């Protein structure tokens, strides 16, 4: 059973999410919060698998709430929901530790699939959208130089895989690029994430840009 906490300041929005989750086998809504601060407190108490986090809420917003939840070392993962696909707040949320984001007008099956993906440790930002986000909000990284010592622990192949991840490539595309099997790519990706301390591919993309492995496109 995947447990979900809904954090949104709109009662009708929370009700809609609740109805969807209640009607989905294997999903259980275990609480709802109307502010970021309330979400943080409830995560500490309930420890849900996933938080559906709205960005704009009164008082503490969803970005700061995400930062505090992840910063506390919680196993709970955060899936940000937003109205705009290239909203700078969404990128800030990913930087704060969210495992991805979806638009609020996503189809019900997309939302459920996103929750399951995040709960299983994956991310839900599509490769093409990842590229748009990184290119739109990481211009300042163009002059970045490697600073994280974990980068030096990567083998040559692992660094190539990290670069491909940063460019938004899927495992299938990486396998084709380097003439590897997908199972081998999965092993490389797992080792890369472990060495750089990234929870998922989204965090690996941010790491790649921050450390100059990938440059924003013009």
Residue where one domain finishes, among candidates 57, 90, 124:
124
Residues 178 and 105 in one domain: no
Residue 216 lies in a domain: no
Residue 218 lies in a domain: no
Residues 49 and 14 in one domain: yes
Work out how many domains the chain is built from and give that number: 2
Residues 88 and 118 in one domain: yes
3-state secondary structure of 54: strand
Residues 179 and 81 in one domain: no
The CATH number covering residue 60 comes to 3.40.50.2300
Residues 179 and 120 in one domain: no
Residues 109 and 7 in one domain: yes
| Residue 20: closest CA among 101, 81, 109, 116 | 109
144-195 per-position pLDDT tens digit = 555 789 999 999 999 999 999 888 788 888 999 999 999 999 999 999 999 9
Residue where one domain finishes, among candidates 67, 95, 124:
124
Range(s) of the domain holding residue 177:
134-210
Residue 215 lies in a domain: no
Q: How far apart are CA 76 and CA 45, in angstroms?
A: 11
Instruction: Locate the DSSP E strands across 69-213.
Output: 77-82, 101-103
Residue where one domain finishes, among candidates 92, 124, 156:
124
Give me the long-range contacts of 126-133 (CB less than 8 A, separation at least 24). Answer: 127/168, 127/169, 127/170, 128/168, 129/85, 130/168, 130/201, 130/202, 130/205, 131/167, 131/168, 131/217, 132/85, 132/86, 133/86, 133/90, 133/91, 133/94
Q: Greater confidence, 144 or 89?
A: 89
Residues 181 and 106 in one domain: no
Q: Are 8 and 52 in contact (CB under 8 A)?
A: yes
3-state secondary structure of 5: strand
Q: Are 38 and 62 in contact (CB under 8 A)?
A: no
Q: How far apart are CA 160 and CA 156, in angstroms?
A: 6
Name which of 19-33, 76-90, 118-132 the model is least confident about. 118-132
Q: Are 21 and 4 in contact (CB under 8 A)?
A: yes
Residues 100 and 157 in one domain: no
Q: Greater confidence, 18 or 94?
A: 18
Helix axes 36-46, 62-71, angle to 10 degrees: 30
Average pLDDT of every residue of the chain: 85
């Amino acid at each position: 059973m995947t447990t979900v906490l809904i954090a949104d300041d709109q009662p009708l929005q929370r009700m809609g999410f609740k109805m969807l989750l209640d009607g989905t086998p294997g999903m259980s809504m275990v609480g709802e919060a109307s502010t970021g601060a309330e979400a943080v407190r409830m995560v500490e108490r309930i420890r849900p698998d996933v938080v559906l986090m709205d960005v704009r809420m009164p008082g503490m917003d969803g970005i700061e709430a995400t930062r505090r939840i992840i910063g506390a070392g919680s196993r709970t993962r955060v899936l940000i929901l937003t109205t705009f696909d290239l909203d700078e707040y969404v990128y800030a949320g990913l930087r704060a530790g969210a495992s991805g984001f979806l638009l609020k007008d996503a189809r019900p099956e997309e939302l459920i699939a996103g929750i399951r993906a995040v709960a299983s440790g994956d991310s839900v930002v599509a490769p093409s959208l990842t590229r748009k986000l990184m290119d739109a909000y990481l211009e300042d990284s163009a002059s970045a130089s490697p600073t994280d010592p974990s980068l030096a622990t990567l083998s040559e192949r692992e660094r190539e895989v990290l670069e491909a991840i940063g460019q938004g490539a899927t495992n299938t595309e990486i396998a084709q690029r380097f003439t590897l099997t997908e199972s081998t790519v999965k092993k490389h990706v797992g080792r890369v994430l472990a060495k750089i301390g990234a929870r998922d591919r989204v965090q690996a993309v941010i790491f790649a840009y921050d450390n100059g492995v990938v440059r924003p496109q013009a």
